[in-house]
Amino acid sequence: MSHKYPKTVLCVGKETVNTVLEEIEKINRFAHADIIELRADYIKEEELTEENLTKIKNASDKEILFTLRKQEEGGQRKISDSVREAFCFTAIKIGFEYIDIENSTPKDMLDRIMSEVRKAGRSTQLILSFHNFSETLESEISEKFNDIKSKNPDIIKIVTMANSEADSNFIIDFVRSNVSDSVRLALFCMGEWGTTNRIQCHNLGSALTYLAVASGTGTASGQLTYDEFVSNPDIQKTTICGLIGKPIRHSMSPLVHNAGYRDQNINCKYILIETDDIDFAIHYIKSNNIRGLSATMPLKIKAIKFLDDIDPLAEKIGSINTIVNTAGKLKGYNTDVVGAIRSIKDVMTLKNKKVAMIGAGGAARAIGVGLIEEGAEVIILNRTVEKAERLAGDLKCRFSGIDPAKLQDCDLIINTTSVGMYPRVDESILQEIPPEAVVMDIVYYPLETKLLKLAKQNGNETITGFGMFIYQAAEQYKLFTTNDPPLEVMKKVSLERLSELGK
């Protein structure tokens, strides 16, 4: 996410690990919740262990902030500095995305924690915080801001008690003057002015907006509940897009879409909504006003009957991979076909070309419709011949089992099966490849599959599945945002991720 846009922080202050986990489960359903703050100082001493913290960290795909607040700054119980330091190291080791440390922490302890955070690279970010629970002093805020800024944390957090409208206004002006692309400042006030103050600070770009899960569960006065936040008409909310399906935890889509939003400075974020329950998915889209969704297995076909409208190409294919929500009306698209055809057309034309497509699954159906629309002459080869026959019947083309003789004279061979996909990287759907054909594999992890390696050795031109992936994502991006997608940025982040995965 762009640093410019504020993130919401849902506070969890519970005494036992089980109740913490119950609370996290609720937050996992909140589309507008960005970060979960674990107030570890609320957890009973005997339950505050590395094992339990790991369990909590693994309970959500959302970012988690670890806070072991000291008592003088609002913590629930007395905890020695050495224990707090040890737990901060544990939180960094486990991979909590943020830790919050008081600026009043002894300098040598703070230096050690900051050095550990730096060693962890970008995986943990440091929030350096100051709280004044009784008043708002203008000179103190300026002094603390400069002091904390000089220590170069990832986020500067200052929270004070506002006792008058003037206090609240001072804070709002301070946010307005000091938040910038390079300064991530979370500043707002507590107390009876807190609620309106927090809304205005949020809209001005204060980095973090703390919310209670429900009324009575807040960890500070003036905090809005999540429901109050999402229903407040004055709050500038982030537009949400995402991916539905199951399993989706390893999808690269959030990385690719969010990199685009960041690049174009759009207040939009892309989240994972892991479910195979179509009723829940549709309810979630409508109740959270999700703007756009990528849909994957097993929802690509199931979703169709819940849509208000469907793009003619997707209707022809019989499956969708994209849903766009315009004022509560859902329209389905299939961008796999655009992705595949565009990546082929980067290399060759399709009109009157002979194409052998191996596989007769969902991807083959989408690509097949695209190939026929482009005027190619298609033959479908599949392990299960009846499936090839069925698809060929729908596309009105030829079919066969996977018979190498049928590949002779082909201009293009496309593997649409999962053969060769990680972890079975040593498998190839073909062992012999005819010399003249262009060879495409829609599997993109690994980027160069065994089939493509063999084709290259054989002197054939090749097309990786990455082009299809990135072009289908770019097409979705355009449908969700109506902007031209920043293709190079989207390509770069995903290629970097694929190369990291390959190490």
Ligand X SMILES: NC(=O)c1ccc[n+]([C@@H]2O[C@H](COP(=O)([O-])OP(=O)(O)OC[C@H]3O[C@@H](n4cnc5c(N)ncnc54)[C@H](OP(=O)(O)O)[C@@H]3O)[C@@H](O)[C@H]2O)c1
CA proximity to 354, closest of 412, 414, 441, 435: 412
Residue 278, interface with ligand X (CB under 6 A)?
no
Site string for ligand X, 363-382 (x = CB under 6 A): xx-----------------x
Nearer to ligand X, 127 or 442 (CB): 442
Taking CB under 6 A as the rule, does residue 59 contact ligand X? no
For the stretch 327-330, contacts whose Cβ atoms lie closer than 8 Å and that sit 24 or more positions apart, written own/partner, are 328/286, 330/282, 330/285, 330/286, 330/306
Residue with tokens 């400069």: 146
Interacting residue with ligand X among 74, 153, 205, 465 (CB under 6 A): 465
Among 156, 324, 414, 442, binds ligand X (CB under 6 A): 442
Interface stretch with ligand X, choices 11-19, 87-95, 165-173, 411-419 (CB under 6 A): 411-419
When the beta carbons of 130 and 399 are compared against ligand X, the nearer one is 399
Indicate the angle between helix axes 385-395 and 362-373, nearest 10 degrees: 30
Residue 399 engages ligand X in binding (rule: CB under 6 A): no
Determine the Cα–Cα distance for residues 109 and 79; give it in Å rounded to an integer: 14
Of these, 27, 419, 433, 438, which contacts ligand X (CB under 6 A)?
A: 419
CB of 468 to ligand X, least distance (A): 4
108, 197, 234, 367, 465 from 462: Cα distances, Å:
57, 58, 53, 17, 10
DSSP 79: -
CA distance 433 to 427: 14
Site size toward ligand X, by CB under 6 A: 24
**Judged by CB under 6 A, does residue 142 bind ligand X?**
no
360 binds ligand X (CB under 6 A): yes
Q: Token pair of 235, please?
A: 């709050």
Q: Is residue 416 close enough to count as binding ligand X by CB under 6 A? A: yes
User: Taking CB under 6 A as the rule, does residue 494 contact ligand X?
Assistant: no
DSSP 335: H
Which backbone phi and psi does 270 adopt, to 5 degrees? Answer: -115, 125
Angle formed at CA 59 by CA 53 and CA 62, multiple of 5 degrees: 105
- How many CA atoms within 13 Å lie on the side-chain side of 249? 6
Residue 140's closest CA among 166, 170, 169? 170
303 is a contact residue toward ligand X (CB under 6 A): no
Closer of 220 and 252 to ligand X (Cβ): 252
- The answer to whether residue 361 forms part of the interface with ligand X (CB under 6 A) is yes
- Asked if 446 is part of the footprint of ligand X (rule: CB under 6 A), the reply reads no
Should residue 407 be labelled a site residue for ligand X when binding is judged by CB under 6 A? no
Active site residues: 300
- Least Cβ distance, residue 411 to ligand X (angstroms): 20
The span of 11-19, 259-267, 417-425, 430-438 binding ligand X (CB under 6 A) equals 417-425
The answer to whether residue 333 forms part of the interface with ligand X (CB under 6 A) is no
> Which residues would be at the binding site for ligand X (CB under 6 A)?
336, 339, 359-364, 382-384, 387, 416-419, 421, 442-444, 465, 468-469, 472
